[in-house]
């Protein structure tokens, strides 16, 4: 059984929708209109707002060359030659994949376990609040949660576990334990985790954009 495909295509669908909408509007309004007496021939156009500066440290510069879907239990890690930079972790709920970026370079990715409909993994941006390499759940029968990186006050975390088809979490993001160990070693309290559903990004896009 395979996890979902990685959502790493360039964001073109929304742009295409805007273009089509604009074309339809032009077609609807192309009938010549009678001028209104005393009205100016054309109204001045408002000045375009200045473009927002993009922090290049968060622009995607590399995506790991992985073909096809990532199997449950499978993970990849390659940070050779990647310079220092701010770290961003992304989780896509549709693809069921976690990726780690440093300075815009993807250095790691893995299939993950996620929550159920009754206890879903939340969407949003979550800074890592706490780290505990030997954490045990205070809610679920003292269950081991190795290399925990807590994201929310109610206990949603990234942590190591057995990632197999047919299993789920209580809202946490479960990764293979060896992957969690490597991530735990480089992640810092305050690093941000972006949990999205079906967001598609590619080379040149910002990891922290809207």
Give residue-wise pLDDT tens across range 122-157: 999 999 999 999 988 767 666 788 999 999 999 899
Is the pLDDT score of 31 beyond 70? no
> Taking a C-beta distance cutoff of 8 angstroms, is the pair 139, 152 a contact?
no
Q: Choose the weakest-confidence range: 11-20, 102-111, 149-158.
A: 11-20
Q: For residue 180, is it within any domain? A: yes
**Predicted local distance difference test score (pLDDT) of residue 55:** 85
Considering its fold, how many domains does the chain have in total? 1
Residue 18 within any structural domain of the chain:
no
Tell me the HSE value of 206 on the side-chain side, using a 13 A CA sphere.
9
> With bands split at pLDDT 50, 70 and 90, how would you rate the model's confidence at 200?
confident
Q: Is 8 within the bounds of a domain?
A: no
Of 11-20, 24-33, 163-172, which gets the smallest average pLDDT? 11-20
Of the candidates 66, 77, 126, the residue with the CA atom closest to the CA atom of residue 101:
77
pLDDT at 41: 56
The pTM assigned to this predicted structure is 0.74
| Chain centre distance of CA 75 | 17
Q: Is residue 27 part of a domain?
A: no
Q: What is the predicted pLDDT for the residue at 147?
A: 96
Q: Are 163 and 174 in contact (CB under 8 A)?
A: yes
Per-residue pLDDT at 16 exceeds 60: no
Mean pLDDT of the chain: 81
The whole-number pLDDT of residue 22 equals 34
Per the structure, the complete domain to which residue 141 belongs is given by 56-196
Among 53, 79, 81, 85, residue whose Cα is nearest residue 206: 53
- For the chain, what percent of residues have pLDDT higher than 90? 59
In the sheet that holds 157-161, the strands lie side by side as 130-136, 144-150, 157-161, 173-176
Inside any domain, residue 40: no
> How many C-beta neighbours within 10 Å does residue 99 have?
24
Question: How confident is residue 20, by pLDDT bands cut at 50, 70 and 90?
Answer: very low
How far apart CA 161 and CA 178 sit, in angstroms, is: 9
Residues of the chain above pLDDT 70, percent = 74
Higher-scoring residue by pLDDT: 179, 11? 179
Could you give the CA distance from residue 94 to residue 5 in angstroms, rounded to a whole number?
9
Section 35-53 average pLDDT: 64
In a domain, 81, yes or no: yes
Cα gap 145→180, rounded to integer Å: 10
Q: Which of 53-67, 99-113, 137-151, 192-206 has the highest mean pLDDT?
A: 99-113
Kindly report the CA angle at 87 between 85 and 93, in degrees rounded to 5? 150
CATH of residue 83's domain is 2.40.440.10
Say if residue 34's pLDDT is above 70: no
The answer as to whether 41 is a domain residue is no
The answer to the question of residue 42 being in a domain is: no
């Amino acid at each position: 059984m395979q996890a979902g495909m990685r959502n790493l295509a360039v964001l073109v669908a929304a742009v295409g929708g805007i273009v089509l909408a604009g074309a339809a509007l032009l077609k609807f309004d192309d009938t010549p209109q009678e001028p209104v007496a005393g009205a100016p021939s054309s109204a001045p156009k408002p000045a375009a707002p200045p473009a927002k500066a993009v922090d290049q440290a968060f622009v995607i510069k590399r995506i790991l060359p992985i073909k096809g879907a990532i199997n449950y239990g499978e993970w990849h890690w390659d940070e050779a030659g990647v310079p220092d930079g701010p770290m961003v972790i992304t989780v896509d709920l549709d693809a069921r994949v976690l990726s780690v970026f440093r300075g815009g370079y993807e250095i790691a990715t893995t299939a993950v376990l996620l929550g159920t409909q009754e206890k879903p993994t939340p969407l949003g941006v979550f800074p890592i609040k706490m780290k505990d390499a030997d954490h045990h759940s205070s809610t679920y029968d003292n269950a081991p949660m190795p290399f925990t990186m807590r994201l929310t006050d109610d206990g949603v975390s990234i942590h190591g576990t057995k990632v197999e088809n047919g299993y789920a979490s209580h809202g946490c993001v479960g990764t293979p334990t060896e992957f969690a160990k490597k991530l735990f070693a480089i992640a810092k309290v305050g690093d941000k985790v972006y949990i999205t559903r079906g967001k598609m990004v590619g080379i040149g896009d910002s990891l922290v954009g809207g």
